[in-house]
Structure 1
Amino acid sequence: MNLVARTVLGRLGGLLLTLVLASVGIFSAVLLTGDPIAALAGGAKPTPELIERIRDEHRLDEPVWVRYGDWLTGVLHGDFGRSYVYQTDVMTLVAPRFAITLQLVLLTMAIIVVFGVGSGVLAAVRGGGVDRAMVILTSLGMALPTFVVAILMIWIFAKTLGWFPVYGEGGGFWDRLWHLALPAVSLAVLFNAYVSRVTRGSLVAQLQAEHVDTARVRGIPRARIFGVHVFRNAAPQILAISGTTVAGLFAASAIAEVAFGLGGLGSLLVQAAARADLPVVQIVSLLLVAIFVVLNAVADLISLLIDPSSVAGRGRS
């Protein structure tokens, strides 16, 4: 088995271990938030008889490791539990919310690819005043929290100018796109600045590399030098940070969803946590962690396929 294959298997094993540890951490952390009796009572005053029945029905008196084992076994078999508040299967709540969050993340990522990677390439290639301007803009973008950008977007483009809706996710493709525009821009600003910085730094490092100077001396066309010797060598780092960015968008989307009244995963998690709906909190949290580690692993593996020499270099060290 070659070094790349061993590295791939090792990282897949690390991914599974991370998910198992995350499930333990999420289950334990949620249990520490308090007794779910009030949520399970459905607004009724929890009498001693009702409390006893709820504890018996939901096995709340079982040892924590037994409850964790039952929960994890259920998840692995597709049983994600039942919402305490909505009295329905958790997956029935999660599936439509996930679709909205996924659409928001995809639109945000499109903005980041166009403007984040694009501005990083422009700053690295043009240099001078363009580079300095991009550095100032990205510094400003990284300093603005998402909720501040969301408030500014609502105030300027929704309330003052009236160009965009301020609430809800809309219906139909174009209406949904119109409703998601401001949330996506609000979510993209911080990540856009980060991706732009990393892209610029990676490309500048490659442009200053010795093999690029050699290619210039040999008279290779500038476009070919950039495509083959610069961007291709910088691609693994850009791809890795893009994978981390997409994963981070799923977690950060809650801010934009709450600000713009979107019924996505983030807003569901906030509502479930506020109402002590533990099964929903557990599954949504586990899903977000799974998305984060899987996307990072996929980006890492693609980087290895693009540049296997990096693995070989680590193997010799």
Structure 2
Amino acid sequence: MSVMDAPAGEPRSTQRHTTTPGRAARPRRLRFVLGKLFSLLLTLFIASLAVFFSRFLVPGDPARFLLRGRSPKPEALVEITRQFGLDKPAWEQYLNWLGGILHGDWGRSLTYRQDVSDVLLNRLPTTLQLVALAAVFITLLGLLAGIIASLNKGFGDRFILVTLTAAGAVPPFVAAIALVALFAVQLGWFPSFGSGDGFLGRVWHLTLPALALGITYIAFVARVTRSSMNEQLVREHVEVAMSRGLTRSSVVVRHVLRNALGPILTVSGVMIAGLLVSSAIIEQTFGLTGIGQLLVQSIDRLDFGVVQAIVMVVVTAFVVVNTVVDLLQPLIDPRIAAGTETR
């Protein structure tokens, strides 16, 4: 029976309105992206509430701190309190603080008596360079060790696995001491103090701190890479590709490593964002003037404006990196994209 011959009451299932798959998927992808951006903004808003109001739980009066070592007069306390806006209600202080952040004004430092943004900008480049170099080491060494362990079964795999387990158990400050003792004191290859001048000087001075900061993460990324690749190597499509005569390197790059990048990217993104938090110990050990060292000093001196700014910078970096990873995963693995679109 043709479509024209079908009874009037019978639905003409053969008369379909075709829709381009790409057009149908675009609104879903857009909703996915907008949902991630909304989650990012909501997380940052909740984090700002927690960061700002947590200062009221800390014992100590910032105004009295500014005058410690002296007997403060009531007039001096009133002036300091008014100057830094500490006399206003908590909710008004929060709105002023949040509005200032949106306009690039983080307030004034109680310790340095200058804008918090200026204090951060003087320290932030060192920390960013340290984290960037550590991220390079984590990505390159972690991926390389994981790939070698996955593709070389037997002694090579066991040796790398044992080495990674031992490296992952080493705290950053212990790794820093060991690296300084070997490469700075014994061999004299790298300096053990300061951040250096110029691009090459910075890289040379930050090599040991970056390795000490990233050694635990290198081990973890390598283990995740090894596990993810081992899972992909036994998949049917890999065996089919090998049976068609494709070279081993081509199969590994196109069918194994690409499909294994999902969990590797997720873990790497989370850990690289966490490097900002871990940098404080390394900066103290190597005498680097970064925001990690500044955070420790500001907490000790009750410099709330600087502490709040650094914590918000770290939280923002963590949330943004995780959001970017979530947005990149569907582009790397089409299966995730398909799963996202069917939500």
User: Which of the five TM-score ranges fits, normalised by the shorter chain?
Assistant: over 0.9
Instruction: Output aligned runs, 1:270-289, within 5 Å.
Output: 270-289=296-315
CA distance in 1, matches of 2:29, 2:163: 39
1:164 aligns to 2:190 (yes or no)? yes
1:73 aligns to 2:99 (yes or no)? yes
1:124 aligns to 2:150 (yes or no)? yes
Change (3 A) 1:228 1:162: closer
1:24 aligns to 2:52 (yes or no)? no
Instruction: Output aligned runs, 1:215-294, within 5 Å.
Output: 215-294=241-320
What amino acid sits opposite 1:228 in the alignment?
A: R
Shift of residue 71, structure 1, vs aligned partner: 0.5
**Cross-structure match for 1:178:** 204
CA distance in 2, matches of 1:232, 1:178: 33
CA distance in 1, matches of 2:261, 2:57: 43
Q: Is the Cα contact below 8 Å between 1:42 and 1:85 reproduced in 2?
A: no
**Cross-structure match for 1:135:** 161
Q: Is the Cα contact below 8 Å between 2:331 and 2:337 reproduced in 1?
A: no
CA distance in 2, matches of 1:62, 1:73: 15
Shift of residue 194, structure 1, vs aligned partner: 0.7
CA distance in 1, matches of 2:137, 2:51: 32
**Cross-structure match for 1:192:** 218
**Cross-structure match for 1:307:** 333
Shift of residue 43, structure 1, vs aligned partner: 5.2
**Cross-structure match for 2:125:** 99
Q: Is the Cα contact below 8 Å between 2:329 and 2:336 reproduced in 1?
A: no
Structure 1: unaligned runs, 5 residues or longer: none
Shift of residue 187, structure 1, vs aligned partner: 0.7
**Cross-structure match for 2:171:** 145
| TM-score normalized with structure 2 length | 0.88
Any idea what the Cα deviations from partners look like across 1:26-69, whole Å, max 9, x if unmatched?
A: 11223322321233337543222212222233232322121111
Shift of residue 315, structure 1, vs aligned partner: 5.1
Shift of residue 179, structure 1, vs aligned partner: 1.2
Any idea what the Cα deviations from partners look like across 1:80-102, whole Å, max 9, x if unmatched?
A: 11110111111111113111111
Shift of residue 159, structure 1, vs aligned partner: 3.0
| TM-score normalized with structure 1 length | 0.94
CA distance in 2, matches of 1:43, 1:294: 42
Q: Is the Cα contact below 8 Å between 2:64 and 2:77 reproduced in 1?
A: no
Change (3 A) 1:308 1:212: closer
| Residue range with higher mean Cα deviation, 220-229 or 272-281 | 220-229
- Structure ID, larger Rg: 2
Shift of residue 4, structure 1, vs aligned partner: 2.4
Change (3 A) 1:153 1:45: farther
Give the length in aligned residue pairs.
317
Q: Is the Cα contact below 8 Å between 2:32 and 2:340 reproduced in 1?
A: no
1:12 aligns to 2:37 (yes or no)? yes
CA distance in 1, matches of 2:72, 2:310: 27
Q: Is the Cα contact below 8 Å between 1:3 and 1:312 reproduced in 2?
A: no
- Quote the RMSD (CA, aligned, Å): 1.7
Q: Is the Cα contact below 8 Å between 2:192 and 2:205 reproduced in 1?
A: yes
CA distance in 2, matches of 1:260, 1:119: 27
CA distance in 2, matches of 1:133, 1:187: 23
**Cross-structure match for 2:14:** none
What amino acid sits opposite 2:279 in the alignment?
A: S
CA distance in 1, matches of 2:320, 2:178: 33
CA distance in 1, matches of 2:48, 2:105: 15
Q: Is the Cα contact below 8 Å between 1:37 and 1:46 reproduced in 2?
A: no
Q: Is the Cα contact below 8 Å between 1:4 and 1:308 reproduced in 2?
A: no
Structure ranking higher on relative contact order (CA contacts 8 Å, 6+ apart): 1
Shift of residue 276, structure 1, vs aligned partner: 0.8
Change (3 A) 1:162 1:28: same
Q: Is the Cα contact below 8 Å between 2:106 and 2:309 reproduced in 1?
A: yes
Fraction of identical pairs, as percent: 44
Structure 2: unaligned runs, 5 residues or longer: 1-25
Shift of residue 197, structure 1, vs aligned partner: 0.7
Q: Is the Cα contact below 8 Å between 2:209 and 2:282 reproduced in 1?
A: yes
| Residue range with higher mean Cα deviation, 54-63 or 208-217 | 54-63
Shift of residue 249, structure 1, vs aligned partner: 1.2
Q: Is the Cα contact below 8 Å between 1:74 and 1:81 reproduced in 2?
A: yes
CA distance in 1, matches of 2:186, 2:70: 45
1:2 aligns to 2:24 (yes or no)? no
